[in-house]
Amino acid sequence: MQKSVFKQQTLIRALVAGVMLATVPVGESWAEIAKPAKAKGLKVAANPALDNAIRDYLLKNPEVIRDAMMALEAKERQAIADEARKALTTHAKQLYDDPASPVGGNPKGDVTVVEFFDYRCGYCRKVSPTVAALIESEPNVRVVYKEFPILGAESLNASRAALAAHQQGKYVEFHKALMATDDITEAVITKIAADLGLDPVRFAKDREDAQTGAAIDATYALASALKINGTPAFVIGQQLIPGAAGLDAMKLAVKLARNSKGR
């Protein structure tokens, strides 16, 4: 709310400056009139008549403020999108080709979907069947899983367990099992590991391995670089999609990435 008010005030100041410039006597410029005062750090003296004229103008033409607000917001959205595309290019290797990140779908697919998630995130669990449906309907899609545990100790414990399962070639199965439950206690994790036939000694060791922690830390750093601060979040081609996107939206993003020969 405060940011919106600040934007409006900024725009009004800009409009006021424009009207002031238009009312400066012929042969002089507002910049020249204001220069001495600005150089001394002083404010230009108020002009009640001019203030009233500006007020009347804005009251009679309120659409000027609306149009300026819309233009500013569009410019800001474009700047954010441009920054995101630049960040995706800069961090492409970490996004798509980090050997510590598990891969699902078609490992040789022509389009890669990168998912940032947390096992305690309800929206992540909600979107999990959508990701599965995308893989089913798009057999040439590769999925990179980014363990991004931001919701506390249970989340971190679950991510370590999933990456330990990855060391025994059972990541996708373990991931699906965790996403299918809202109970990620140690007892549940142990049962999932046993059901998948994981070696319990190696599983316990890999959970505490320094490389497991390093993989999670790398995802934290990558998310920070991409300004991802919530889950789920997807990167498809040159698009960063925050939130639980629907199947149609994901398919469209995949199509755009494929047509643009993006990742």
Residues 6+ apart with CB under 8 A from 148: 116, 117, 118, 159, 219, 220, 223, 228, 231, 233
Reported pTM: 0.72
pLDDT at 12: 54
Spatial contact of 94 and 214, defined as CB atoms under 8 Å apart: no
Q: Which residue has the higher pLDDT, 66 or 256?
A: 256
Q: What is the pLDDT of residues 83-141, one digit of tens each?
A: 777 888 899 999 999 999 999 999 999 999 999 999 999 999 999 999 999 999 999 99
The answer, yes or no, to whether residue 40 has pLDDT greater than 60, is: no
Q: Tokens for 92, please give them.
A: 């492409």
Highest mean pLDDT among 24-28, 80-84, 199-203: 199-203
Q: Which residue has the higher pLDDT, 34 or 184?
A: 184
Q: Tell me the residue type at 43.
A: K
Phi, psi of 120 (to 5 degrees): -90, -5
What whole-number distance in Å separates Cα of residue 170 and Cα of residue 120?
20
Question: What's the Rg (C-alpha) of the chain?
Answer: 27
Spatial contact of 206 and 167, defined as CB atoms under 8 Å apart: yes
Q: Which residue has the higher pLDDT, 55 or 22?
A: 55
pLDDT at 2: 54
CA atoms within 13 A on the CB side of 7: 16
Spatial contact of 130 and 247, defined as CB atoms under 8 Å apart: yes
Q: What is the pLDDT of residues 16-37, one digit of tens each?
A: 544 444 444 444 444 444 454 4
Q: Which of 132, 192, 185, 183 is nearest to 164 (CA)?
A: 192
Task: Give the domain ranges of the chain.
Answer: 2-61, 92-259
Q: Tokens for 34, please give them.
A: 């204001």
Torsional class of 84: left (φ above 0), alpha (ψ -120 to 50), beta (otherwise): alpha
Spatial contact of 262 and 248, defined as CB atoms under 8 Å apart: no
Highest mean pLDDT among 36-50, 58-72, 141-155: 141-155
Q: Which of 113, 129, 98 is nearest to 216 (CA)?
A: 98
Q: Tell me the residue type at 198.
A: L
Q: Name the CATH superfamily, with its identifier, for domain 92-259.
A: Glutaredoxin (3.40.30.10)
What whole-number distance in Å separates Cα of residue 132 and Cα of residue 137?
9
